[in-house]
Structure 1
Amino acid sequence: MLLALAVTLLAGLSTCLGGLLGVRSSVVRPGVLAAALAFAARLMLTISLLQIAPASVRSLSTVVDASTALAAVLGVMALGATVVLALGRLLPHGSGHVGAEAATPDVRGLDPGLLRSGVLIALVVGLHNLPEGLATFVSTLEDPAGGLVLAVAIAIHNVPEGLAVAAPIYAATRSRSQALLWATLSGLAEPLGGLLGYLLLRSLLPPGWLDLSLALVAGMMIAVSLLELLPGARRYAVGHREVLVGLFLGAVVMVVSLVLLRL
């Protein structure tokens, strides 16, 4: 169990490496920031639509028929998007609207829209990392070599997630410590999910429920991408090139990490 916990912790804390990339001074340049936000948006859209939603449907189809599974997953994803809308109303913002376009810098030069985006990303990435931690923990218990391979793939996968968390928070606050703290906390959800999942969830939850909970996170990721990140990318873009480059790189990195997870 100690080895499984250590492997899961290392996989989760790879978000810190992404966080270090996200607090470079170049990130606060408008063009770079636009590309970073577009990168994060494409990353979250890709993982939601290509990995999480299909996996949830497949898992739930083992306990109910396929049409019911698809309807349930879509409904839970819609619920996740609604949760993001509710969180957007509660977190600080400029004009009372959800979306980065609504926010304007305050007297200290801080952008509440970017700060809200970063916090929302940290929350949904943390939720997403909980079941990933469970998968890594259990895999390492059953087969240490296989668990280590899975942990390496997840670690690579987590680096851009840490960047996605840290970049908007650093750009909003100019505080490296605050940005790195949020990136670290989102990564610590991995060992937390592994340990708690092993001790509690596996024995308490019915089959298919865990992957259905992932559908909730997928809906949240899609909503954050469409309502927060892409509007922010357009707002900070000097031209169209930065947004297109960010979208392309986000798709490439996420597809490569998903391929590694399947090896």
Structure 2
Amino acid sequence: MQGVWFALGVALLAGLATGIGGVIIAVGKQPGPKLLAGGLGFSAGVMIFLSFAEMMPAAAEYIGREQPEDAVPWWVFTGFFAGVALIAIIDRLVPMSINPHEPLEPGGMGNGAGIDPALLRTGVMVGLALALHNFPEGFATFVTALEDPRLALPIVIAIALHNIPEGVAVAVPIRVATGSRWKAAGFATLTGLSEPVGAVLGYLLIQPFMTDTIFGLTLATVAGVMVFVSLDKLLPTAEKYGEHHVAIYALIGGMALMALTLAVVQ
């Protein structure tokens, strides 16, 4: 039971990071282009490195406990590209005007200038869409922490860094639409709570059927999701802010920090 509470706490911490993005919007001026580009690039570096250096090998290890050795790569690669396909389909199904991953215009944060008018009209829908994105992420985080606690720290770091800019994306239209900084921060935090909700429901509904093969596939699928989001959303958004070198240097920094983290927790 202690392991369940630990895993739930990990999912909760990862989800609450969305609120950090909301607080950033609430406490003062919006981050400038360099800070935003650097944060997005750093998050991408963490997730890409974690996916290939830790999650994919761990997926192969778990799947190898039940499947023939020559079949393991096929299982892992299938899970990886299934994750890519899953998040790509979800991304296509969410309209661009309310997609929480779609970038805001440079220089348009905090004063209403340059922000997509659809985001102003549908601020609540942005949060709901983000909550839908975070729901399966919460289950994956919970299962990872429950089955392999040594992965908990890097998973929390990666998802938290990913959730912070998403929290910003939620809070900006809410702040502009309502004029309230703290409503924006509160709503961003609320959307992040879908992660622990996803963890609990996933545990109750799916955990009884969990095997080493299914867990390995889950890891590989989450890796695919992380890589797709990094390459298709985070880095292009950083580029949109016109700070190419800042984003790339931050990406390498994120990889270096994750490498250090993984070396320490091994």
Superposition TM-score tier, normalisation by shorter sequence: 0.7 to 0.9
> What is the identity, as a one-letter code, of the residue corresponding to 2:263?
V
Which range moved further: 80-89 or 102-111? 102-111
Unpaired runs of 5+ residues, structure 2, are 106-113, 173-183
Q: Which residue of 2 aligns with 1:259?
A: 263
Q: Please give the alpha-carbon distance, in whole angstroms, between the structure 2 residues aligned to 1:123 and 1:46.
A: 23
Secondary structure, aligned partner of 1:87: helix
TM-score (norm 1): 0.73
Distance 2:197 2:134 in 1: 11
Alignment check: 8 A CA contact 2:33 2:241 kept: yes
Go from structure 1 to structure 2 and tell me whether the alpha carbon gap of 1:183 and 1:75 turns closer, same or farther (over 3 Å shift).
same
- Report deviation, 1:260: 3.9
1:87 is aligned, of 68, 90, 96, to 90
Per-residue Cα deviation, 1:231-260 (whole angstroms, up to 9, x for no partner): 1111113x3332023202321332233234
Question: Which position in structure 1 is the counterpart of 2:204?
Answer: 196
Spell out the pairing of 1:1-263 with structure 2 (5 A cutoff).
1=1, 3-15=2-14, 18-23=17-22, 24-25=24-25, 28-94=31-97, 100=102, 105-107=115-117, 122-123=134-135, 125-135=137-147, 150=150, 154-155=152-153, 157-171=155-169, 173-174=171-172, 175-187=184-196, 189-190=198-199, 196=204, 201=207, 204-237=209-242, 239-262=243-266
SS in structure 1 of the partner of residue 257 of structure 2? helix
Give the whole-Å Cα distance in 2 for the aligned partners of 1:183 and 1:10.
13
Deviation at 1:76, TM superposition (A): 2.0
**Aligned residues: CA RMSD:** 3.6
Seen in structure 2, the aligned counterparts of structure 1 residues 187 and 254 have a Cα distance that, compared at 3 Å, is farther
Q: Deviations over 1:212-248 (max 9, x none)?
A: 12211211211111111111111113x3332023202
Contiguous gaps of at least 5 residues in structure 1? 137-146
Partner deviation per Cα, 1:181-204 (whole Å, 9 max, x = no partner): 2333325555666x538xx63x53
Q: Judge conservation of contact 1:27–1:167 (CA < 8 Å) in 2.
A: no
Normalising by structure 2, we get a TM-score of 0.72
Shift of residue 95, structure 1, vs aligned partner: 11
Once superposed, which parts of structure 1, at least 4 consecutive aligned residues long, lie more than 6 Å away?
A: 101-104
